[in-house]
Amino acid sequence: MGKPKSGETVVVSAAAGAVGSIVCQIAKIKGCHVVGIAGSDEKCDWLRNDLGVDSAINYKSEDVLAALKKYCSNGIDIYFENVGGEILDAALTLMNKFGRIPVCGVISMYNDWSVPEPKMLKNILMKRLTVQGFILLDYLHRMEESLQALSQWIAEGKIQYRVDIVDGIENAPTALSKLFTGENQGKLLIQTSKVES
C-alpha cells in the first residue's frame, strides 16, 4: 500500500511494536531510509542497533517534529500510521508531494477523546497524498504469500521479532493495557493453556 521504492524515506510510528517493527525491517529490505518513532530509549536502541533503522525518535522525551526534520532531510515519502494524534500532525507537515500514508491504527485516539484532532490535514490536499486505511482481514487471501516472505526473511536473518507472552486468560485485561502504556516488548500474546509433554 505504501509502494516503497529504494531510496525513499519511510517513517513508522509505534515502530518497536509488533506491526511497526516488521514494517521498519521490510522498508529496510526494500532499500528505504527508515526512521522509527517509539516510547522509550530501550525501544529506540533496539530499533537502531538490532533492527538497523537509520534513526529512532523517543516521542516521550524528544520534540518529534524537530527530530523528524533532522532525520528526514529529504522529506517523508511514506508515513506508516499506527498512532494518530500529534505524531500524525508532525508527519503530515513533512510529507513530500504524492506521498503515501497507510493507516494501520490510531492507538493514541482509541480511548482518549482529549487527543486533539490533526491540524495538518490540509497537507493531504496541498501535497496530493494518498491516505488509505486497511484492516488485515481484507488481506487474508494473501496470508500464504506473507508467511512465505516473512519466513524466508527470518531464516535469512533479515527480520527479527520479539514476543511478549502473558500467562493465563485471567490476566488478559491487565495484559491488554500494556498496549496502551507501551509496556509490551513486541507482539503481545496471552497463553491460555499449556501443552502437556
Ligand X SMILES: NC(=O)c1ccc[n+]([C@@H]2O[C@H](COP(=O)([O-])OP(=O)(O)OC[C@H]3O[C@@H](n4cnc5c(N)ncnc54)[C@H](OP(=O)(O)O)[C@@H]3O)[C@@H](O)[C@H]2O)c1
Q: Which stretch binds ligand X (CB under 6 A): 10-18, 24-32, 63-71, 121-129?
A: 10-18
In the bound state, the residue with its beta carbon closest to ligand X is 17
Which one of residues 107, 129, 159, 175 is an interface residue with ligand X (CB under 6 A)? Answer: 107
Q: Which of 189, 184, 190, 157 is nearest to 42 (CA)?
A: 184
Sole binder of ligand X in the list 19, 65, 131, 166 (CB under 6 A): 19
Quote the cell numbers at residue 56: 529512532
Minimum separation from the CB atom of position 18 to ligand X (A): 3
Q: Contacting ligand X (CB under 6 A), which of 134, 154, 171, 174?
A: 134
For residue 187, is it left (φ>0), alpha (ψ between -120 and 50) or beta?
beta
x-or-dash string of contact with ligand X, 162-181, rule CB under 6 A:
-----------------xx-
What Å distances lie between residue 113 and 59, 85, 109, 138, CA to CA? Answer: 20, 11, 7, 28
- C-alpha span between 6 and 60 (Å, rounded): 30
Q: Does residue 159 touch ligand X according to CB under 6 A?
A: no
List Cβ neighbours of 35 (8 Å cut-off, separation of 6 or more): 9, 10, 11, 12, 53, 54, 55, 56, 57, 68, 71, 72
14 binds ligand X (CB under 6 A): yes
Output the smallest distance, CB 168 to ligand X, in A.
20
Binding site for ligand X (CB under 6 A): 14, 16-20, 38-40, 43, 82-83, 104-105, 107-108, 134-136, 179-180, 182, 184, 188
